[in-house]
Amino acid sequence: MIEGKGFRDPILANRIIEGIRRVTPKNDNVKICHVCGTHEWTISHYGIRSLLPENVEVIAGPGCPVCIVPAAEIDEAVHLALKGVTIACFGDVLRVPGSEISLLDAKSRGADLTVVYSAMDAVRIAEKNPSKDFVFFAIGFETTAPSTAIEAIKKPPKNLSFLISHRLIPPAMEFMLGIGDLHIDAFIAPGHVSTIIGLEPYEIFPKVYRMPTIIAGFEPLDILMAIYMALKQISERKATLENEYKRAVTWKGNLKAKALMNRAFRVVNGAWRGLGRLPDSALKLADEFIEYDAREKYGIKIEGGRDIPPGCQCHLVIIGKIKPTECPLFMKSCTPQKPVGSCMVSSEGTCRIWARSMHLKFAH
């Protein structure tokens, strides 16, 4: 097996941890920011934070594609669902709160929902049920957007349209650097997004912001090595773009996927839950495919929306400003069984991951 074993080798892990201790600056605090729900899972599940020197902090940025869908776009899906359109969506989205209700609440009011594993499934279901209208709620970062692009370009049956909520990672990383009191010292960039976009879009971080940036995979050793590489750059006062995940990520990324995305979409401004509108951070179907754009087809455009329920601190958790345990609702009124905020809903949300790894004493 290509992943697993070698990238979980405890002997090498210990050597890297020793390496981390060697290169960590002695007097300064260091803050490394990752931007991926799966990275957070690896870090929490393997207790990586507990292995780091006390002055090294790893925070989770806006890397959960479910958590950052703004309430207004959940409201659009809910609106369509209550109008009688069948919403095909990934399971994680069902419980994400809208301004008033979630899609799951809409189901209890009679809405028709179908959970799919892929965009392909949504097309198949629409083909099999020509008398019903379907909307595929297309969320996800650059990892997921190419699959939506494939299906839109193939021109699916007319009873299917797309509610596009795709978002792009590099603009969110740039946004993070604008938050003055976060003081990020290095980025760990998301490996799976990078398999698609390649290294090129991250060049701006070392070049313009002097921010060490490491593309990392998802095994525990990938994360340890990325932390080591970041700390080494910091100790040498360097800022370069490094690829730790060479077995999957190339400079140019996946050219086929990028070409399909360029054809199917155009880049627009987009709202992120709790963060507001970020320039050039979202995708919209290109004019050629406008008949498949659910917002055009059904004439909906909901803006505003209430992203953060009262008391919820998701807007601060999403940017890594606070830890889930610093939210007054965490594991009190907000639990995986009964989530209040979107960070507790998704399996990639920071609060959900922390809640699930609480039994691991070393996790945080």
Partner 1 sequence: MCLAVPARVLEINGDLAKVDFGGGITRDVNIMLVDVNVGEYVLVHAGYAIQVLDEKEAEETLALWREIMEIEGAEAP
Binding string to partner 1 for residues 52 to 71, with x set by CB under 8 A, is what?
-----------xxxx-----
Figure out which of the listed residues 83, 247, 263, 266 binds partner 1, where binding follows CB under 8 A: 247
How near is the Cβ of 285 to partner 1 at its closest, in Å? 18
Of the candidate spans 80-88, 249-257, 289-297, 309-317, the one that interacts with partner 1 by CB under 8 A turns out to be: 249-257
22 binds partner 1 (CB under 8 A): yes
44 binds partner 1 (CB under 8 A): no
- Residue 261 carries which DSSP code? H
Six-digit token string for 251: 């400079």
Q: DSSP 3-state assignment of 199?
A: coil
How near is the Cβ of 89 to partner 1 at its closest, in Å? 11
- Count CB atoms within 10 A of the CB of residue 335: 15
Figure out which of the listed residues 139, 275, 278, 353 binds partner 1, where binding follows CB under 8 A: 139
| Count of residues touching partner 1 (by CB under 8 A) | 52
Residue 241 and residue 212: Cα distance in Å, rounded? 6
DSSP string, 294-356: HHHHTT--------S-TT--HHHHHTTSS-GGGSTTBTTTB-SSS-SSHHHHSTTSHHHHHHH
| Identity of the residue numbered 286 | A
- Count CB atoms within 10 A of the CB of residue 103: 23
Residue 231 and residue 243: Cα distance in Å, rounded? 15
For the segment 175-194, give every residue that binds partner 1 (CB under 8 A): 190, 192-193
For the segment 210-239, give every residue that binds partner 1 (CB under 8 A): 221, 225
Q: DSSP 3-state assignment of 49?
A: helix
Q: Work out the angle between the directed axes of helices 220-235 and 37-45 (0-180°, nearest 10).
A: 100
271 binds partner 1 (CB under 8 A): no
Of the candidate spans 99-107, 245-253, 271-279, 287-295, the one that interacts with partner 1 by CB under 8 A turns out to be: 245-253
Figure out which of the listed residues 86, 144, 281, 357 binds partner 1, where binding follows CB under 8 A: 144
List residues near partner 1 by CB under 8 A: 1-3, 6-7, 9, 12, 15-16, 18-19, 22, 36-38, 63-66, 90, 92, 117-121, 139-141, 143-144, 146-147, 150, 190, 192-193, 195-196, 221, 225, 244, 246-249, 254, 256-257, 260, 346, 348
